[in-house]
Structure 1
Amino acid sequence: MTDRPLRRVIIENAYIVPVAGAEIPSGHVVIEGDRIVAVGPGPADAVLDGVTDGGSGGGSGDGDSERIDGSGCLATPGLVNTHHHLYQWAAQGVTPDGTLFEWLVASYPLWAGMDAEVVHGAATAGLAWLAMSGCTTTTDHHYVFPKGRGDLFDAEIEAARRIGVRFHPCRGSMDRGRSKGGLPPDEVVEEPDAILAATEDAIRKYHDPSFGSMLRVAVAPCSPFSVSGELMVWSAELARSHGVRLHTHIAETQDEDQHCVEQFGVLPVEYLDRLGWLGPDVWLAHAVHLTDKDVQRFAETGTGTAHCPSSNGRLGAGIARVCDLLRAGAPVGLGVDGAASSEMTTLAGEIRMAMLMQRARYGPRALTARQALELATLGGARCLGRGAEIGTLEPGKLADVALWRLDGFFAAIDDPVVAFAYGRTPPLARLLAGGRTLVEDGELRTVSGAEAARAGAAAHRRLTGAA
């Protein structure tokens, strides 16, 4: 198991897609510690200043450096997942044919039985699954905190440390149960004072704002139908006082539109706008049902969107206006969403799904393979406020790199980005986060893949048995 980055990693002979900048048909990426120091065409020897690295050939090295032969491979930035609910790995398959509200009503009683052991096991499996699909940075939106069940937030953070991904856990919350006109049962909501205190504690304990941080916390009340307007306002004030980002669900379904009109007299995005919840420090999950004015406000304010195409399709929510948001200049990233509404979805697979769903709505030139890849890399980085650190392959940025095998059957397609995005996701030859190998030849190197799978299955049995 790799527990630290090598001093130097050199990837050569790969087709490189920096995302920002021209593609390089056969080139190199040189990594020193956790940073990229060079990206360019041809061999890396010219940029190594005569310093020998001790390695030669596909993946060999001297223990302090490594030279990787990327022949037949596509090099991209590590993928960035902008929306998830890791605990839901333990609750997959619930209400397979329901709407969002039907699915939630059926799921709340099950989720009420979770504890720290369930969350740790589910997060271990979910984060391993993400890494094995090329993800180096992920968020998580955890908003169910049953009393007396241990430290659920810490449980998922510990899982992320073991897997080795960059982690943006969002301290979620719900204070508006059925007795107050909300959707969730009263037994799964918290009191506002307790929510704000726990959220501030999480920021102070875990949030690391430094360049290259592996752990940043966001503030994330759940949704308009489960959170009071007062808590939304207080949460925004708290987040901004600590300089952390804000996240919530919005405009996911027509049921939500109807709820907001009946309860607040306006559609969801206008409701958020009134509460001060649009801005460059905010990214919102789903945003499927937007008006033209909503799209323009997202662009004007720099508000980001976490687009979750498979989950939106699974729940019959609709197809988000991603093309319109991009044309307007609003940040858009990709998210797999929780496994209970997007069973076994991979982040790399969402690149294809996003592209196909936009074409189904807008036509065959609506979203290209390269635009879809950008959603999953630089678009996601911008949503998380990390566009200067990750999301592209450039000198000075963090060494988050995915290397995909495009030989074998994939070699029948001349354009490597089309080969990557249009069909089945190619095998992952290597995944580096901050220069540290997380995946090699499709296998996890930080923890055992079999162990992670068993942890997820055990979490499922523990949760469903408790229910």
Structure 2
Amino acid sequence: MAGRKKRAGNPSPGPSGGPGAPSPTLLVRGGWILSMAPGGFQGHGDILVREGRIQEIGPDLPRPPGASLLDASGAAVLPGLVQAHLHLCQTLFRGLAEEMELLPWLQTRILPLEAAHDEKSIAASARLALTELLLSGTTAVQTMETVHHTQVVLEVLEEAGVTAVTGGCLIDQGEGTPPSMILPAGRALEAQLSLAREWNGKRSGRVEAALCPRFALSCSEGLLRECAAASREKGLRLHTHAAENKEEIRKVREITGLSDIAFLDGAGILGPATSLAHCVHVSPEDRARLRDRGVHVVTCPSANLKLASGIAPAAEYLDQGINLALGADGAPCNNRLDPWRETRLLSLLQKVLAGPAALPPGKALETATLGGARALGREKEIGALEKGKRADMVVVDLEAPWLGPGGSPETRLVFAAGPAEVRHLVLGGKTVVRDGKFLLWDPAEAAARAREELKKLLSRAKLPS
């Protein structure tokens, strides 16, 4: 495959180039660097990494004795991509919930399938998702999992080495929700707070627990208020869905007399620690609320198209000063977790809404990197290639026939690149993809385990055909 060819003269990984501990020293040599930092380095050069952090960026850096080398010639080097809205627990359900809008999709397929998860199936689902995500260049995620077994997802995220903000979804009501997923507000919240006490600031520090009320129709106002208070008191991030589907919005207004956004705002949910996924149908008044509260909007173009939800006004959000991030959502509403496809669609769909100059490639890449890092509250650590930041980076081949011969690196990446062009991936100085080969675990084994666990889950779920 053109995007994954072995390059002549590539050194062998050596003892510090494989999937073990981070290399003490790593030199990424000879790529076109897109730092994504305002005023940061852009051009041909090298990146020197020591102890998992970027030490220097520039042209013709000397190779320190004993340093591992990654060949980036003919490739772009950019920060690892950040996906700020995902459901790892849904990856087993790929292809099992087709041709439906949001509410029947949730009520007749997704929620019953989530309710049938056990620890083994959710681990297999998360591992399969992370295999796809890492091979496609994603190094940081914000995810919302199902009600139970969230500890298992945290463990898999920690093993993979990604930066992650995650939580089990909070549900205390909702039409069509399996009874096992509905928990009293206090019990549901305490389960997530317990995870935060165990994980936040502990272990590697890369993985943290957040509060994830599912969406307005599945949460009482009391639960939302308790989440908002806990977020403020304990410094926890909030992650929920809002304004995705017209019928959802109609039902929220019927019950509360308010729009999704106004209802969440009244409960105290909106703020600078909050990410709202989708925001497809948002009035000018509610957009002002999002801006004034400092909310992060996470757009999911493929999922919004597949569920016939609509097209989010992403370019307008950016024009109004609202931070925008990107996510593939879940496998059963996409069906890929491919950040390149989402970045391409983001830019193209905004051109339909706002004209051919709307959301140019550089801005789309910023959404997929620094915008996502801001949504996770990790912009001081990730999202740009700068001295002192965590060495999360993706090396993307620019020499495939469909990527050239002309055009800026940004244009080539956004409109023509895909997972096949990911040559190397580095997580905190540790090479986890080299020449397209995944080094953390066996991808075929992960896929086989997922197939095995799906059979058992479907037997438990007993869904009508």
TM-score, with length taken from structure 2:
0.91
Residues 37 and 217 (structure 1), Cα distance of their counterparts in 2 relative to 1, 3 Å cut: same
Q: Show the counterpart of 2:190.
A: 197
3-state SS of the aligned residue for 2:152? helix
Q: Show the counterpart of 2:421.
A: 427
Shift of 1:209: 7.3
3-state SS of the aligned residue for 2:364? helix
Residues 408 and 265 (structure 1), Cα distance of their counterparts in 2 relative to 1, 3 Å cut: closer
Matched, 1:327 2:338: no
Cα displacement string for residues 107-150 of structure 1 (whole angstroms, at most 9, x for unaligned residues) = 222222111111000000001111111011112201333xxxxx
Q: Select 1:36's aligned residue among 29, 54, 59.
A: 54
1:190-339 equivalences under 5 Å are 190-208=183-201, 213-339=205-331
Q: Select 2:381's aligned residue among 375, 389, 397.
A: 389
Say whether the 8 Å CA contact 2:112–2:177 is kept in structure 1. no
Deviates more, 1:367-376 or 1:234-243: 234-243
Residues 415 and 370 (structure 1), Cα distance of their counterparts in 2 relative to 1, 3 Å cut: same
Q: Select 2:162's aligned residue among 145, 149, 165.
A: 165
Deviates more, 1:407-416 or 1:372-381: 407-416
* Separation in 2, partners of 1:424, 1:16: 16
Shift of 1:452: 2.0
Q: Show the counterpart of 2:36.
A: 19
Deviates more, 1:308-317 or 1:237-246: 237-246
Say whether the 8 Å CA contact 2:81–2:139 is kept in structure 1. yes
Q: Which amino acid aligns with 2:45?
A: G
Deviates more, 1:441-450 or 1:323-332: 441-450
3-state SS of the aligned residue for 1:429? strand
Matched, 1:4 2:21: yes
Deviates more, 1:233-242 or 1:307-316: 233-242
Shift of 1:360: 2.0
* Separation in 2, partners of 1:22, 1:112: 46
Listed as ranges, the gaps of 5+ residues in structure 2 are 1-17
* Separation in 2, partners of 1:17, 1:98: 39
Say whether the 8 Å CA contact 2:91–2:125 is kept in structure 1. yes
Cα displacement string for residues 330-362 of structure 1 (whole angstroms, at most 9, x for unaligned residues) = 111101111111112312221111111111222
Cα displacement string for residues 223-278 of structure 1 (whole angstroms, at most 9, x for unaligned residues) = 11111110011111122221111111111110111011100001110111111111
Shift of 1:440: 1.3
Cα displacement string for residues 280-311 of structure 1 (whole angstroms, at most 9, x for unaligned residues) = 11111111111112222212211001111111
Cα displacement string for residues 183-219 of structure 1 (whole angstroms, at most 9, x for unaligned residues) = 5243421121211221111111111279x83111110
3-state SS of the aligned residue for 1:83? strand
Matched, 1:100 2:92: no
Q: Show the counterpart of 1:140.
A: 143
TM-score, with length taken from structure 1:
0.91
* Separation in 2, partners of 1:138, 1:429: 20
Matched, 1:449 2:440: no
Shift of 1:22: 5.0
Say whether the 8 Å CA contact 1:299–1:328 is kept in structure 2. yes
Q: Show the counterpart of 1:440.
A: 434
Deviates more, 1:357-366 or 1:283-292: 357-366
Residues 266 and 450 (structure 1), Cα distance of their counterparts in 2 relative to 1, 3 Å cut: same
Q: Aligned pairs, how many?
A: 440
Shift of 1:23: 5.3
Structure 1 residue runs of 4 or more that deviate by more than 4 Å after TM superposition: none
Shift of 1:173: 1.1
Cα displacement string for residues 76-129 of structure 1 (whole angstroms, at most 9, x for unaligned residues) = 100111011111111122331110011011122222211111100000000111
Cα RMSD of the aligned pairs, angstroms, is: 1.6
Matched, 1:113 2:130: no
* Separation in 1, partners of 2:454, 2:24: 40
How many percent of aligned residue pairs carry the same amino acid? Answer: 31
* Separation in 1, partners of 2:205, 2:391: 12
Residues 343 and 157 (structure 1), Cα distance of their counterparts in 2 relative to 1, 3 Å cut: same
Say whether the 8 Å CA contact 1:299–1:329 is kept in structure 2. yes
Say whether the 8 Å CA contact 1:36–1:393 is kept in structure 2. yes
3-state SS of the aligned residue for 1:293? helix
Cα displacement string for residues 4-52 of structure 1 (whole angstroms, at most 9, x for unaligned residues) = 1111111121111111235533111111112111112x2112xxxxxx6
Listed as ranges, the gaps of 5+ residues in structure 1 are 46-51, 55-61, 146-151
Q: Select 2:82's aligned residue among 80, 83, 99.
A: 80
Shift of 1:427: 1.2
